[in-house]
Amino acid sequence: MSTLTPEILGELEHQAIELPSWAFGNSGTRFKVFSTPGTPRDPFEKIADAAQVNRYTHLSPTVALHIPWDKVDNYIRLRAYAEDLGVSLGTVNSNTFQDDDYKFGALTHEDAAVRRKAIDHHLECIEIMHQTGSRDLKIWLAEGSNYPGQADLRGRQDRLHESLSEIYAGLGDEQRLVLEYKFFEPAFYHTDVPDWGTSYVQVAALGDKAMVCLDTGHHAPGTNIEFIVMQLLRLGKLGSFDFNSRFYADDDLIVGAADPFQLFRILYEVIRGGGYANPDVAFMLDQCHNIEDKIPGQIRSVLNVQEMTARALSIDTEALAAAQKSGDVLGANAIFMDAFYTDVRPDLAAWRESRGLPADPMAAFAASGYLQRIAEERVGGVQAGWGA
Ligand code: LRH
Ligand code: MN
Ligand code: MN
């Protein structure tokens, strides 16, 4: 018996999950970066690899850039290259975490000259966005302090507001700023944008074109992330997701790998709050593939999101609402869990085939020989990676 109705399959057609260019480069931990044969040597090759994920899944039509990791001489050329391969360039991520000048902060720094440099970097990102056709500027700040007393917490928050205001003023009419929060790392005592509340306060003070970015790996263990999703949607301020999964810290593992049930709960609140297939809420991955092959790692990831979305869409919402209203605790929970436990994979495979896609994108990609080909072709040169 089919578990996915035509309505649900229709909803799934609108799913789009942006891929991070950096997922295709080498990455690792502070202990070791393992390199993979065939790793891209420049942003063009990262885009080519990302296009493979979309080719086999039709789930990832856009690719996010990170500047300066993806700096090129000609963004119009990069854009045309991507479009030839059937994908577009998406969110532009700024980077103020790999420059000596930013040791004590960037947008929050005590020194106006350092703040100027950091603001100018963001204005340059906006300029790039005009050329790449990107809507969103994503800002994640590695700013904070390690020791109590080290920094003036209040002064930094005020300076952050001033710096963000200047960046916000530089946005084009169709462009947005999304501010990502993270509770620790690289600073360990305090972080200047540690939580959704701080991000919300900062973006609310800017205006309608500023939203919050929720990275699923950036919360303390045990945090009820779906509650945050609900609240931000309720406030009209959920701009985007960075999906990944974590066991311990900011692990950047494959979304849905560590806790598929959490992903299901998050997606349920997205759907419930009107954030699904809503252009105001961008779905993105923010992951690194340290030991597994990168392209299959990304294919697995988008399939995981699709699978949990299908399960969340199949919740019997009327029955759930009735059970909630009547105080039927166990009944409501059973309705929720039934959808989570329903295996939608055979239905999704059949649906893919009906749309001219491989039933099993992982197997189809493996059989294509692409990995072997790039391993042979991309010898020599410096492999691009997280931070290169
Ligand atoms: C920070 C973060 C942020 C960066 C990315 C590489 O931990 O999640 O989104 O841009 O990692
Ligand atoms: Mn992130
Ligand atoms: Mn992160």
Condensed to tens digits (0 to 9), the pLDDT of residues 312-336 reads 999 999 999 999 999 999 999 999 9
Rounded CA Rg of the chain: 21
Backbone torsions φ then ψ of 140, nearest 5 degrees: -120, 130
Bond before 37 cis per omega within 30 degrees:
no
Query: Is 321 inside any structural domain?
Result: no
Residue 124, H or E segment: helix 112-132
Does 269 sit in the ligand 1 pocket, CB within 6 Å? no
Query: Is 38 inside any structural domain?
Result: yes
Query: Is 262 inside any structural domain?
Result: yes
- Write down the pLDDT at residue 384: 64
Q: Where are the extended beta strands (E) located within 33-160? A: 62-66, 88-93, 136-140, 144-145
Please, which residues have CB within 8 angstroms of residue 290's CB and are 6 or more apart in sequence? 27, 28, 29, 33, 34
Q: How many CA atoms lie within 13 A of 8 on its CB side?
A: 21
Query: Is 382 inside any structural domain?
Result: no
Query: Is 325 inside any structural domain?
Result: no
Show the tokens assigned to 166: 């200047």
Q: Give the 3-state secondary structure of residue 73.
A: coil
- Write down the pLDDT at residue 58: 98
Using the structure block, give the residue that is written with the tokens 């045309």: 80
- Write down the pLDDT at residue 2: 77
- Write down the pLDDT at residue 18: 98
- Structurally, how many domains does the chain consist of? 1
Query: Is 152 inside any structural domain?
Result: yes
β-pair partners for 282: 240
Contact indicator for 72, 79 with CB cutoff of 8 Å: no
- Write down the pLDDT at residue 1: 56
Range(s) of the domain holding residue 268: 14-313+373-377
Does 70 sit in the ligand 1 pocket, CB within 6 Å? no
Output the residue whose Cα is nearest ligand 1's atom 1: 140
Query: Is 319 inside any structural domain?
Result: no
Here the CATH number for the domain that contains residue 61 is: 3.20.20.150
Q: Which residues are in the CB-under-5-Å shell of ion ligand 2?
A: 215, 242, 286
Does 93 sit in the ligand 1 pocket, CB within 6 Å? yes
Nearest ligand 1 atom, CA 217: 8
| Amino acid, single-letter form, for residue 308 | M
Query: Is 160 inside any structural domain?
Result: yes
- Write down the pLDDT at residue 361: 98
Q: Give the 3-state secondary structure of residue 138.
A: strand
Q: Which stretches in the chain have pLDDT values below 70?
A: 1, 380-388
